[in-house]
């Protein structure tokens, strides 16, 4: 139960070693509650959960709690355990000695190294290093309160993956992650031997990671032994079967109602049974599950001028977030925005919606352009307001395309807020229900230019599909930031690609098109670099300098060989990373590999710095 709302009833299932299970269902159906009960974070109203003695659980909450003053190192290794405590101490000491060498620190590192040898922690330490590096977590001394939303999610994800466990529980693990990190996580979870149960709206992620789907529907669960594609196939068969049954019931009901309409009286037992059967048919005639209905919403007509950006830019603290950028939006455009976390995507949306001021240029909005901004934090929601009161902020009645007026209460019902829920406080809603309410709030304003910032966060898959159908028919402009590759593939026809240094590149195509393009460019650049290096080598061997070089003889020799040396060191580093993940358990080997890995990082950093110095002289 959640308050007075019943979520689950007589639910039974098991999770075995190697299972990768996804929970799906509409927002508010009890997915997060079920995960919390499995993790032991929420009590049961009835029944029991049996756990074997060797079970160790690690959980990533939908909104992970954290101490703003806690260093990243403490948060990542908060779960404790002998190996984790040793690795935490080892990482801290390495961080300190990297800033300033001290013999006492080196002595302590040696002592910790011996302890790690004794408990076989080196293999685990290699895995930890790999996870931190892949998630771009390098500054372990930084305070949690100083991190961006995307980095907070990465650090909490790292903590759950690093924790020693045999069952991973992940609640919306892809929320706030950039697409590159989502793809890495997908590969990691496919390869791990840990059992997994998760909630996610990312349909590509579901399809590629999970081998079992559990759907929560009408307080019960239905299990499907396959990935998301298999689920869709079997679900379609069930729906078709139900439609056939429903049509047959309707035909029978029609005939039975005719009989009842002739004035039949329940005199005999047979007649009583027949009337009871009619009542049962009436209650079961529609087997279709309730789903969100946005079909009655309409948008205003766009004028000739929609939105023009003229050399807009933004900087924070001297750092360029967006370099001067210009663009003229056209009617019916579907634009997706992609780029790494912190590259300025949300800043750009805040600029064009005038939530923040541009440092330069001009934003010219058309007279008839009405912007609706669905931000990723649902910032307009007030937890103390009633659902119905918040919805009324857009007006008591909504006029649809047929010029008919619909009361806001009916619109709430169409968005799956029944009358009893409409008088609840917003703070009592689930995360997905709050997002759905905020979506209704934005659409009720009758916008013709929609801005979506991570719209798929916390929305269930069925609601996403309906939203996508609505946006397919939307005649206005759409611009969206999303890590959901399926959502971007379906809706975006043109991309703004943020490179992280302030520049924005345009690309004609969807996200999958861009991925393929990027792979081709990367391969071509690699080939061109190899060809250029070969030509430079041949040229240097066949020419004699005609003037005095600024590099000394030894520096020239060093300059000519240093890139090859860096490449060899990088290759050795990659080989060590592969060894860390090979399953090797020898403490001596793992200890040696780790020491060499740390040496390589310092050597590579030094060589790169040295190359930059020599390159600068050579160019002059």
User: Does 538 share its domain with 502?
Assistant: no
Q: Is residue 295 part of a domain?
A: no
List the domain range (segments joined by +) for residue 96. 20-231
Contact 272, 311 (CB under 8 A): no
User: Does 431 share its domain with 567?
Assistant: no
How far apart CA 234 and CA 222 sit, in angstroms, is 11
Q: Is residue 159 part of a domain?
A: yes
pTM (predicted TM-score): 0.69
CATH code at position 93: 3.40.50.300
With a cut of 70, list the residues of the chain below it in pLDDT: 1-3, 80, 98, 252-253, 255-291, 296, 298, 401, 535, 537-550, 580-588, 590-591, 620
How many domains does the chain divide into?
A: 3
How far apart CA 546 and CA 557 sit, in angstroms, is 17
How far apart CA 84 and CA 163 sit, in angstroms, is 8
pLDDT digits (tens, 9 = 90+) for 92-112: 888 777 677 778 888 888 888
How far apart CA 79 and CA 76 sit, in angstroms, is 8
Decide which of 231, 250, 267 is a domain's last residue: 231
Q: Is residue 258 part of a domain?
A: no
Decide which of 446, 477, 509 is a domain's last residue: 509
Decide which of 173, 198, 231 is a domain's last residue: 231
Phi and psi (nearest 5°) for 251? -65, -45
* Residue 520: count of CB within 10 angstroms of its CB: 10
User: Does 565 share its domain with 425?
Assistant: no
User: Does 50 share its domain with 101?
Assistant: yes
Q: Is residue 535 part of a domain?
A: yes
Q: How many CA atoms lie within 13 A of 499 on its CB side?
A: 10
What is the structure's pLDDT at 548? 46
User: Does 446 share its domain with 566?
Assistant: no
User: Does 139 share its domain with 185?
Assistant: yes
SS3 state of residue 25: coil
pLDDT digits (tens, 9 = 90+) for 468-496: 888 888 889 999 999 888 999 999 999 99
Q: Is residue 244 part of a domain?
A: no
Closest C-alpha to 577, from 561, 562, 594? 594
How far apart CA 34 and CA 198 sit, in angstroms, is 10
User: Does 499 share its domain with 435?
Assistant: yes
Q: Is residue 113 part of a domain?
A: yes
Contact 502, 322 (CB under 8 A): yes
User: Does 454 share its domain with 554?
Assistant: no
Contact 569, 604 (CB under 8 A): yes
Contact 310, 362 (CB under 8 A): yes
Q: Is residue 257 part of a domain?
A: no
What is the structure's pLDDT at 544? 47
CATH code at position 559: 1.10.287
User: Does 152 share its domain with 24?
Assistant: yes
User: Does 586 share its domain with 613?
Assistant: yes
Q: Is residue 261 part of a domain?
A: no
Q: How many CA atoms lie within 13 A of 89 on its CB side?
A: 18
Phi and psi (nearest 5°) for 58? -125, 130
User: Does 426 share its domain with 498?
Assistant: yes
User: Does 325 share its domain with 455?
Assistant: yes
């Amino acid at each position: 139960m959640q308050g007075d709302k019943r979520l689950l009833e007589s639910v039974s299932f098991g999770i075995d070693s190697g299972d990768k299970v996804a929970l799906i269902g509409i927002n508010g159906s009890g997915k997060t509650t079920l995960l919390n009960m499995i993790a032991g974070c929420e009590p049961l109203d009835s029944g029991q959960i049996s756990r074997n003695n060797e079970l160790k659980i690690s959980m990533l909450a939908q909104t992970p709690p954290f101490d703003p003053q806690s260093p990243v190192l403490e948060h990542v290794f908060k779960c404790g355990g002998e190996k984790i405590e040793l690795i935490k101490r080892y990482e801290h000491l390495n961080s300190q000695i990297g800033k300033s060498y001290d013999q006492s620190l080196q002595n302590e590192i040696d002592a910790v190294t011996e302890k790690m040898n004794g408990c076989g922690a080196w293999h685990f330490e290699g895995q930890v290093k790999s996870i931190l590096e892949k998630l771009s977590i390098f500054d372990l001394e930084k305070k949690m309160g100083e991190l961006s939303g995307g980095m907070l999610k990465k650090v909490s994800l790292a903590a759950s993956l690093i924790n020693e466990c045999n069952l991973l529980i992940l609640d919306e693990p892809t929320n706030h992650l950039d697409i590159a990190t989502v793809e890495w996580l997908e590969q990691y979870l496919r390869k791990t031997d840990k059992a997994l149960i998760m909630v996610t709206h990312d349909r590509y992620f579901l399809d590629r990671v999970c081998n079992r789907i559990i759907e929560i529907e009408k307080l019960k669960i239905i299990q499907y032994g396959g990935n998301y594609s298999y689920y869709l196939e079997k679900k379609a068969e069930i729906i078709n079967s139900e439609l056939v049954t429903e049509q047959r019931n309707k035909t029978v009901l029609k005939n039975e109602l005719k009989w009842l309409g002739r004035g039949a009286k329940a005199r005999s037992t047979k007649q009583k049974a027949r009337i009871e059967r009619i009542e049962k048919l009436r209650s079961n005639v529609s087997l279709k599950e309730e789903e969100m209905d946005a079909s009655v919403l309409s948008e205003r007509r766009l004028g000739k001028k929609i939105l023009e950006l003229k050399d807009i830019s933004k900087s924070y603290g001297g750092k360029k977030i967006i370099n001067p950028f210009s663009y003229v939006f056209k009617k019916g455009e579907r634009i997706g925005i992609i780029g790494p976390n912190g590259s300025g995507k949300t800043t750009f949306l805040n600029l064009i919606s005038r939530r923040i001021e541009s440092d330069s240029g001009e934003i010219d909005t058309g007279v008839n352009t009405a912007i609706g901004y669905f931000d990723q934090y649902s910032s307009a929601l007030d937890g103390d307001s009633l659902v119905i009161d918040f919805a009324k902020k857009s007006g008591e009645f909504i006029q649809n395309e047929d010029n008919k007026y619909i009361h806001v209460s009916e619109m709430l019902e169409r968005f799956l807020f029944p009358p009893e829920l409409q008088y609840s406080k917003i703070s009592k809603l689930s995360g997905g229900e709050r997002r759905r309410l905020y979506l209704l709030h934005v659409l009720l304003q009758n916008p013709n230019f929609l801005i979506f910032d991570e719209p798929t966060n916390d929305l269930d898959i069925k609601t996403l599909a309906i939203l996508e159908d609505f946006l397919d028919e939307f005649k206005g402009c759409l611009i969206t930031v999303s890590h959901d590759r399926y959502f971007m593939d379906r809706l975006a026809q043109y991309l703004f690609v943020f490179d992280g240094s302030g520049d924005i590149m345009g690309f004609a195509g969807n996200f999958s098109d861009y991925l393929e393009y990027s792979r081709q460019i990367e391969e071509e650049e690699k080939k061109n670099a190899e060809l250029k290096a070969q030509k430079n080598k041949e040229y240097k061997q066949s020419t004699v300098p005609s003037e005095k070089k600024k590099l000394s003889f030894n520096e020239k020799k060093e300059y000519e060989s240093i890139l090859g040396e860096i490449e060899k060191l990088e290759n050795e580093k990659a080989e060590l990373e592969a060894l860390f993940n090979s399953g090797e358990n020898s403490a001596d080997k793992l200890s040696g590999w780790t020491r060499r890995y740390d040496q390589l990082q310092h050597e590579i950093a030094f060589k790169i710095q040295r190359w930059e110095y020599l390159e600068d002289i050579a160019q002059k």
